[in-house]
Amino acid sequence: MRIVIAGGHGQIAQRLERLLAGRGDEVAGVIRRPEQAGDLLALGAEPVICDLESASVADVARHLEGADAAVFAAGAGPGSGIERKETVDHAAATLFADAAETAGVRRFLVISSMGAGAEPPPGTDPVFAAYLRAKGAADDDVRARAGLDWTILRPGSLTDDPGTGRVTLTGSTGRGSVPRDDVAAALAALLNEPGTAGRTLELISGGTPVADAVRAAAG
């Protein structure tokens, strides 16, 4: 498969690129900063320089031509303000979905966030609330598209602990945490499981091997 990942220098994206390249897939990572290209090359990924906050649909679609799948893993990141939650976490996701449809790439995965499907509770930090609203709006946009075989993955609290390879992956898991390693492993498995198209799935650490959890989610 050829897989194009938006936000290719992100922590989960880099883990995913290593996994995909290691299993023989052709993987490209969309990055904004040229100085990040070497990191992707070291992982076995092709760096694609494109700023999703300023690019047109046609610009991005050119990078998606010939791909078998697209993964939206971009995010404004910690330290960014409310405005960039909208321009990256929402608008860039919409742009990437538009580009995928334009390029004829049906399989489309999104790294979202647990809590993105509901209004943030009172007292939530305003920037984090804006992030959750932006992710929720992006998810709603993607799920409304008949031209995409989408899967929305909503991990719990992310950690840098070593992956265990065992998770809980269902429509509603309850609160929990999950290593970024295991999020990347789940995404890699989801790319090979078309039966999960049309599903919004939550992911936390658990007792089920990733491959089995993904297979069950497709059932």
- pLDDT of 120-179, one tens digit each? 999 999 999 999 999 999 999 999 999 999 999 999 999 999 999 999 999 999 999 999
pLDDT at 94: 97
Look up residue 113 and give its amino acid.
Answer: S
Token readout for 68 is 């078998």
* Other residues' Cβ atoms within 10 Å of the Cβ of residue 17: 30
Region of poorest pLDDT, from 47-56, 73-82, 107-116, 148-157: 73-82
Q: Which of 96, 108, 131, 150 is catalytic?
A: 131
Q: Of the candidates 12, 68, 23, which has an alpha carbon nearest to the alpha carbon of residue 203? A: 12
Whole-structure pTM value: 0.96
Helix (H, G, I), strand (E, B) or coil at 81: coil
Q: 38 an active-site residue? A: no
Token readout for 24 is 């023989």
Token readout for 21 is 């390249």
Distance CA 149, CA 146 (A): 8
Summarised one tens digit per residue, pLDDT across range 83-100 is 999 999 999 999 999 999
Distance CA 8, CA 71 (A): 9
